[in-house]
Chain A
Amino acid sequence: GESVGLHLPTLSVQEGDNSIINCAYSNSASDYFIWYKQESGKGPQFIIDIRSNMDKRQGQRVTVLLNKTVKHLSLQIAATQPGDSAVYFCAEIPSSGGFKTIFGAGTRLFVKA
């Protein structure tokens, strides 16, 4: 079946360091992959997405890498700040799914000052 999962449930980094959050997915027939950030008491917030025909996309302090060979997605956050502390979800939109986003289990990022 379709599934999107994460290697690490929690990640603790020092402020100023770079963070890498990983995600493995099993459905190779997907159009888009998305990273969401969820802060405590709030709803998920879109960070960045990547099409399945790309392998890298950069945003402001964030980079998403897609390796379709091993079905792996990662989110890199440069110069991690305390405000980056949150739960991060990877999600995929199957090409056959339509109107459906499948979320992974989430990784909690702790940023130590």
Chain B
Amino acid sequence: DTAVSQTPKYLVTQMGNDKSIKCEQNLGHDTMYWYKQDSKKFLKIMFSYNNKELIINETVPNRFSPKSPDKAHLNLHINSLELGDSAVYFCASSQGGQGIGAFFGQGTRLTVV
């Protein structure tokens, strides 16, 4: 069973569209994260949620809106997609908020054309 699963794995869409990426973890963790990885492999945290509450919002444009309906899910909705949003987005989870031993999903490769 996959510990952290994201859907879809690939997403190609046009500029201006709105899209969502879903994430679910079956590890019983209380903290979930979204990371963005650019073309140079640089990983940067976007959001972290602890017990469904937003803890970290790393100056991400408000076109990005995370939603955590419960501790096992953290979805990412993106409005008005731009070319610069093209990247691989990773969901992760951990027990406790320090990200220690965080488990990552397989990633969602978003391409905006």
How many Å from the CB of A75 to the closest CB on chain B? 16
Tell me, in angstroms, the Cα distance from A66 to B108 when the chains sit together.
33
Interface string of A5-39 (1 = CB under 8 A from B): 00000000000000000000000000110100010
A89 touches which one: B43, B98, B107 (CB < 8 A)?
B43
What size tier do the contact residues of chain B reach? 20 to 34
Instruction: Note all chain B residues with C-beta closer than 8 A to A91.
Output: 99
Tell me, in angstroms, the Cα distance from A43 to B104 when the chains sit together.
5
A49 and B101 form a contact (CB under 8 A): yes
Tell me, in angstroms, the Cα distance from A45 to B90 when the chains sit together.
12
Instruction: Note all chain B residues with C-beta closer than 8 A to A34.
Output: 99-101
The stretch among A52-60, A77-85, A98-106 that forms the contact with chain B is: A98-106
A103 and B55 form a contact (CB under 8 A): no
B100 and A49 form a contact (CB under 8 A): yes
Nearest to B54 among chain A residues (CB) is A99
A41 and B106 form a contact (CB under 8 A): yes
B44 and A99 form a contact (CB under 8 A): no
A and B contact pairs by CB, cutoff 8 A, 29 listed: A32-B98, A34-B99, A38-B41, A42-B106, A43-B90, A43-B106, A43-B107, A44-B92, A49-B100, A49-B101, A93-B100, A98-B97, A98-B98, A99-B33, A99-B48, A99-B50, A99-B98, A100-B48, A100-B58, A100-B99, A101-B99, A101-B102, A103-B42, A103-B43, A103-B44, A105-B41, A105-B42, A106-B41, A106-B43
